[in-house]
Structure 1
Amino acid sequence: MSHSATETPVSAMTRYPPDTPVEVRPYLSRRDGDTAVIGDDQRQVYLSVPIEGLDILEWLAAGHTVEEAARRYEEKYHETPDIEPFLDALAEEGFVVPPTATVTAPEAASKRPRRRVWNLDWVSQETAQRLLSAPVMVVCALIVLTAAALVVSDPSLMPGESSLRFHDHFWAYLWTVMILALVGVVLHELAHVLAARRVGVRARMEIGNQLYIMVAQTDMSGVWLLPRRKRYFALLAGVLFDIVSSSLLIIVLWLDRSEIVPLPEPVRIVLAALIFTYVIRLIVQCYMFVRTDLYYAVATALNCKSLMADTEAYLLNLVRRVRRSRRLIDQSGIKRREMWSIRLFAVLWVVGRFAAIASLAFITVPLLIFYGGQVVAFFAGGSNESGFTWPDMLSLAVLFILFNGGGIVMWVRSLLRTRRRRRLHPDRVLVS
């Protein structure tokens, strides 16, 4: 979500003469233990730096020269700083301008970012606060409670994996459900954007990838400039939207079954399938071994610097101890409180793995068997009771190529980009 620049002692200062002040562009900052987050919310650029680095930046922003900042650093930390690589990293991200630069500001930093309709740039903070006000949240809570009560009284209202088995007009149902599900995904991400705007943070939607799967995601790096208690709503807004939306659909399904608002059979089939797509997305949120919305909320609550990496190292050490291996990862430097958080999250990490295996066994595999049988029967020319046709086959192929093929391209591109950045900056830690 941000770049982290490590601090290493350096003495030579060629691009930053000791007796010269450095131009520091406007920025926001928040200290958090031994690290700090700085950001330019207008450009939506954020950087994680050591707390000592923020001290240097603040001294330079106050008008002190490079030499004066170095002297203050020595007085406070009793060691000689290596300022030049640190300032180079800041200059690359547009936070400072070297005195020897031929321009005072890069073109990208001197212009205001282009307004994007899909990123809700036209929505003011006041409007976002009204749209997500306490009365609105109360109404949403009532909708969810109503749907929960209906499901408890009639569990069959909650569709299962069979709701995605279309026995006729497959291509029509597939595209209808897919388009509506994509609309739900977009609204999920817009909920993040709107919630971030509510607390005064800019956010932007973008297309990314989880390994080889193409996904929609929202860059909300700016929330790390906020106190922890103000981050949760923005982080969980998408999940809350999914819960409220699926609850509304369950209520509509109940109205149909009660013959209060009768629905045509095709609408009923699409409605059940759409509800189950929300169920799948909520299950995926519990995959704590990947960086989901719930993961970021838990990581914020536990307040660990590198929760995922430290937890995976902890679990790997447990496996190696069982195997009586002596090649353990040294975690002695982790504070005691953080180690307790890591142990707690390790349980959630394992539960998330089991949730993924269960969804694979009880959702993905049965669907693959069902539609795999349809495809085999189609090409075998045998009896095909479901009437699988060429439009159905083409729809499957197009969707597979679109989502998996596009995801593979983005995955390979991200790997190459990360490799190139590591080659250019071997002394920097890149955190996604």
Structure 2
Amino acid sequence: MDGSAVDLDQPLRLYPLTFLEEGEEVTVGRADIDSYGLFPADGAALLRRLEEGVSPNEAARWYEQQYGESVDMLEFLEVLEEFELLVPEGEQVAEAPVIRWRRLAQAVFSWPAWCLYAAVTLAGIVVMSTDAHVTPQYQNLFFTTSSLVALTAGNVLGQLPWILLHEGAHALAGRRLGLNSTLRIGRRFYYLVFLTSLDGLVAVPRRKRYLPMLSGMGVDVVVVCGLSLAAAPLVTHTGAAGLTGRFLLAMAFGTLMRLAWQFYFFLRTDLYFLATTVLGCNDLQTVSRQLLQNRVRTLLGRREGLVDPESWTPRDRSVARWYVWLMVGGYTLLTVLAFTVMLPAAIRITELALHKLVRDTSVLNVTDVCVFLVLNFGELALAGYLAARGRRRRGADQAAASGAAPASV
């Protein structure tokens, strides 16, 4: 920031800010654009003085009297500008956007709703414990043998409503607290996933973060129990069921598998965010990656590009020392599974499709086989595309950063 661009004797214009004190650090940011930064307590106090309408020079004098140290206000203002906390000259501050669906969110998480969820869950557990035929099992996935496309499409596309219900629970739990939320498609290693972004949770007291984090898993539990409960009347004493009953049980098993997937918390699942919140971490995954990169570079004798450990919070640095090994073990396990389970399964699926294609070359059968292959391998192809795009973007960002002129102070 150029010193001539701001009058340090005049008050600054700041956007409406949120402050959340946690120990010796304070999370400060803008809820309207979900831009947040972690400030030391004295830095947050200085920012509060500026927010009250005190000029930068007057705030600097107050800081020196209060803490016995001087502060570089131009450098401090650069930080505020980086987090987009300062209102540019000539720009009007817009009113805070209305959080949509907030009333629906309050109804979804009301006490009557909780009683309904508990009743469905309890009834489902009772039914599953008394009749093994309605307990989700992997055999439920094969609900039809008439068409490969019908089988695969049913298991893949049939899960979309339940996935959206899971993510919708996260979004509504956040909007209940007045937070913005966005839904996007992302990647976790070789998994393609839907992600609900709730960046504003960092400015919410920790005790209020648990419901938005766990609401998706809660929905999964209710869905599994509800689907099994709905399938129960369609199952006879021999275990046979109509197409509808078999399909409901297939959906229940798929949802159960997605619930189990949450325990891969090194992939930043719901349980990862729960664990980091309980442990008091800020960005454990990033710090663990950087710690691992530092160790590998040091072992290879490559000192350039090391991340300064002082840029990490003390809590992240402490937990990352053991979490990094858990993360490495998890990725190693998934890599081994990819070669020992997924690859053989993919080869077997391809063999079955080709065998079916050789036996019948009719247009209908060829279409059935081709759509079957696309549904089975399309997710991996899209995950690979997202990974390649992510690498290109990181490379472009690094190139732009290395070619950027240093800011004047």
Number of the residue aligned with 2:113 = 136
Give the structure-2-normalised TM-score.
0.78
Unaligned residue ranges in structure 2 (runs of 5+): 405-409
Mapped to 2, the partners of 1:288 and 1:408 lie a distance apart of 21
Picking from 91, 98, 107, the partner of 1:104 is 91
Mapped to 1, the partners of 2:188 and 2:204 lie a distance apart of 26
Picking from 31, 40, 47, the partner of 2:36 is 47
- CA change 1:162–1:347 in 2 (3 A) is farther
Number of the residue aligned with 1:294 = 271
Matched, 1:225 2:203: yes
How big is each residue's C-alpha offset from its partner over 1:200-246, in whole Å with a ceiling of 9 and x where there is no partner?
Answer: 32322233333565432111111221111110000111111111111
**Percent of counterpart pairs with the same letter?**
25
Matched, 1:182 2:169: no
Mapped to 2, the partners of 1:318 and 1:162 lie a distance apart of 46
Mapped to 2, the partners of 1:227 and 1:347 lie a distance apart of 30
Alignment length, in residue pairs? 398
Mapped to 1, the partners of 2:340 and 2:94 lie a distance apart of 54
Mapped to 2, the partners of 1:85 and 1:159 lie a distance apart of 60
Picking from 359, 365, 369, the partner of 1:389 is 365
Matched, 1:20 2:4: no
Mapped to 2, the partners of 1:318 and 1:153 lie a distance apart of 54
| Residue type at the aligned position of 1:188 | H
Number of the residue aligned with 1:118 = none
**Higher RCO (Cα < 8 Å, 6 or more apart):** 1
How big is each residue's C-alpha offset from its partner over 1:350-394, in whole Å with a ceiling of 9 and x where there is no partner?
Answer: 785687579768974674354233123235x2599xxx9322332
Deviation at 1:29, TM superposition (A): 1.7
Q: Note the 1:340-379 alignment, pairs <5 A.
A: 349=327, 356=334, 364=342, 367-368=345-346, 370-378=348-356
User: Are the aligned partners of 1:21 and 1:60 in contact in 2 as well (CA < 8 Å)?
Assistant: yes
Picking from 147, 170, 175, the partner of 2:124 is 147
Number of the residue aligned with 1:7 = none
Picking from 16, 25, 37, the partner of 1:35 is 25
Q: Note the 1:192-207 alignment, pairs <5 A.
A: 192-207=170-185
How big is each residue's C-alpha offset from its partner over 1:157-211, in whole Å with a ceiling of 9 and x where there is no partner?
Answer: 2211672585331212322332221111111111111111222323222333335
Deviation at 1:332, TM superposition (A): 10
Q: Secondary structure at the match of 2:3?
A: coil
More helix by share: 2
| Residue type at the aligned position of 1:61 | E
Picking from 46, 57, 61, the partner of 1:71 is 61
- CA change 1:162–1:268 in 2 (3 A) is closer
Mapped to 2, the partners of 1:146 and 1:315 lie a distance apart of 47
User: Are the aligned partners of 2:60 and 2:71 in contact in 1 as well (CA < 8 Å)?
Assistant: yes
Mapped to 2, the partners of 1:329 and 1:88 lie a distance apart of 22
How big is each residue's C-alpha offset from its partner over 1:112-133, in whole Å with a ceiling of 9 and x where there is no partner?
Answer: 65x8xxxxx54234x4223212
Mapped to 2, the partners of 1:194 and 1:256 lie a distance apart of 33
RMSD of aligned alpha carbons: 4.3
Deviation at 1:82, TM superposition (A): 3.7
Number of the residue aligned with 1:272 = 249
| Residue type at the aligned position of 2:390 | S
